[in-house]
Amino acid sequence: MKQSLQLRLGQKLTMTPQLQQAIKLLQLSTLDMQQEIQQALDSNYMLEVENEDEADDFQKPVENSDSLSQENEGDLITSHGSEVVLPDDLPIDTTWADIYDNAQTMPVNGTADRPDYQAQYSEAESLQDYLFWQLEFVSFSEREQIIASSLIDNISDDGYLIDSLDVIWQSLIPQLEELFFSEVEAVLHRVQNFDPPGVAAIDLSDCLRLQLQHKALPEEIKEITLRLVTDHLELLASNNRQKLMRKLAVTIEQLKDIIAIVRSLDPKPGAILNTVLSDYVVPDVYVVRLGKGKWQVELNPDVAPKIRVNALYSGMVKRADESTDNISMRNQLQEARWFIKSLRSRNDTILRVAKSIVEKQVGFLENGPIAMKPMILKDIAEELDLHESTISRVTTQKYMHTVSGVFEFKYFFSSHVSTAGGGECSAIAIRSFIKELIDEESPEKPLSDSKIAAFLNEKGINVARRTIAKYREGMSIPSSNQRKRLS
């Protein structure tokens, strides 16, 4: 094959560093954006924060400095506006209060007027920490301590044993010689007496049983309730009242009282100790009402600091100078300008998308989720002459503060179903209708999915029963049989 040179013309899209940086900044969340800005400020000396407060609170001028500087004129000391002259010789047992009548001293324990910062910012105690702390006050032998520690390590955050007791026993055999299953079982019973009641349970039935044993109830009521949670929990879950009355040999009124006792128990006793610190969302934009049907969208000024090019360093750059230092400064200046431009482009795009969303979802702002209109990314992309991928980046992890709460931009986008009048209804509005109907239903006769679909069809929303079931399950709402309650 003969080699030859050929000339070809063509077009190719190249991702320049500036474009890559702009795309990167556009998809960052608020927290990530703040970190990116801080990293840019640390790495590029051409960037600085606008209106940075450089005042040092620890270097404030002191009033009456002339009087304080008189070190050799009688040791004059000013305190709370009164002048006190210290004598040359003081008795050995002299105290501060003997010299200053208005002396204010801190409390000995230091807790009277100061907040407990350690309690505010210390990590929450876990369930395992709490159980191990209780273990220190129980008289266990060394052998029993090993078994109890293994059991506590095997307890989930909700308070249940993760593995079966047989598996825990098998795992302890290599550590303890001639270990019997009954030994592990005996230690478990003692650990189950720890606080909170119901901890170290094998399953839900065992958890409820342990809590009932700690309750002060009449003996007959406690015995019937124990039978209910140990033998007939499935019937209780399915609300089969007739069968429960026959199995327990009780009247309908007695059954109501027993079920009320069971409902007062905690199915997750360990969850109360495993508190998770809340993650607070900082909105990127604020939506403010100007009047009926009029809303204004503003960028959150506190999301990120305003940065600019340092005038001192940029003024030192010389065009004709080709020295190493000058070239480095020119590169840093160019990078700083690119970063500021990309940051402004990001803020402008977020604001444009937010304004477009608000214009299309005025009904939601006025009347709530029921009035949400169906909307997809393509609608915003066509209106703003942007690509759908750009809209997707802007609406991910960006939040909008409205009168109804803080929502991610993506919340306002949803699929739709047709209505009898030829219009469209968003999936969010349908979910809101379903929740509203279920909240207003009778506990004794909850609405089935078919009845909910019929109600929506009467409103002109054509939705099938299976669609209702899908939306209901998506909102973690149980079926009508499981929602059925005794009056």
148 and 245 share one domain: no
- Flag whether 210 is in a domain: yes
437 and 356 share one domain: no
Residues 217-233 pLDDT 10s = 999 999 999 999 999 98
Domain end residue (candidates: 231, 263, 295): 263
138 and 233 share one domain: no
Q: In the prediction, which pLDDT does 274 show?
A: 67
Q: In the prediction, which pLDDT does 420 show?
A: 57
Q: In the prediction, which pLDDT does 111 show?
A: 41
391 and 325 share one domain: yes
CA Rg value for the chain: 35
User: Among 393, 396, 343, 346, which residue's Cα sits nearest to residue 40?
Assistant: 343
Distance CA 361, CA 237 (A): 41
Task: Tally Cβ neighbours within 10 Å of residue 93.
Answer: 6
Q: In the prediction, which pLDDT does 116 show?
A: 45
- Flag whether 429 is in a domain: yes
Task: Tally Cβ neighbours within 10 Å of residue 307.
Answer: 19
Q: Please give the model's pTM, rounded to 2 decimal places.
A: 0.59
394 and 289 share one domain: yes
Which tokens is 279 given? 């993650």
- Flag whether 465 is in a domain: yes
Q: Quote the Cα angle for 398-399-401, to 5°.
A: 160
394 and 444 share one domain: no
- Flag whether 270 is in a domain: no
Residues 153-168 pLDDT 10s = 999 999 999 999 999 9
What residues pair up with 167 in beta bridges, in sequence order?
none
- Flag whether 24 is in a domain: no
Looking at per-residue confidence, does 228 or 108 come out higher? Answer: 228
395 and 424 share one domain: no
- Flag whether 451 is in a domain: yes
Q: In the prediction, which pLDDT does 248 show?
A: 92
Residues 278-302 pLDDT 10s = 567 889 999 999 887 789 999 998 8
Tally of domains within the chain? 4
pLDDT exceeds cutoff 90 at 463:
no
393 and 306 share one domain: yes
**pLDDT, mean of residues 78-103:** 47
Q: At 78, is the secondary structure helix, strand, or coil? A: strand
Q: In the prediction, which pLDDT does 115 show?
A: 44
The band of 137, judged by pLDDT with boundaries at 50, 70 and 90, is very high
Domain end residue (candidates: 168, 191, 214): 191
Beta strands in 241-392 (DSSP E): 285-291, 294-299, 307-309
Which tokens is 177 given? 């010689």
407 and 438 share one domain: no
Minimum mean pLDDT range among 20-24, 166-170, 422-426, 463-467:
422-426
| Count of CA atoms in the C-beta half-sphere (13 A) of 40 | 29
CB 303 within 8 A of CB 284: yes
Q: What CATH code is carried by the domain that includes residue 432?
A: 1.10.10.60
Beta strands in 223-370 (DSSP E): 285-291, 294-299, 307-309
- Flag whether 171 is in a domain: yes
CB 221 within 8 A of CB 261: yes
- Flag whether 2 is in a domain: no
Task: Tally Cβ neighbours within 10 Å of residue 395.
Answer: 21
Domain end residue (candidates: 389, 412, 435): 412
342 and 234 share one domain: no
406 and 470 share one domain: no
pLDDT exceeds cutoff 80 at 363:
yes
The mean pLDDT value of the chain amounts to 81
pLDDT exceeds cutoff 90 at 17:
no
Which residue range is the domain that position 408 belongs to?
Answer: 285-412
pLDDT exceeds cutoff 50 at 79:
no
331 and 349 share one domain: yes
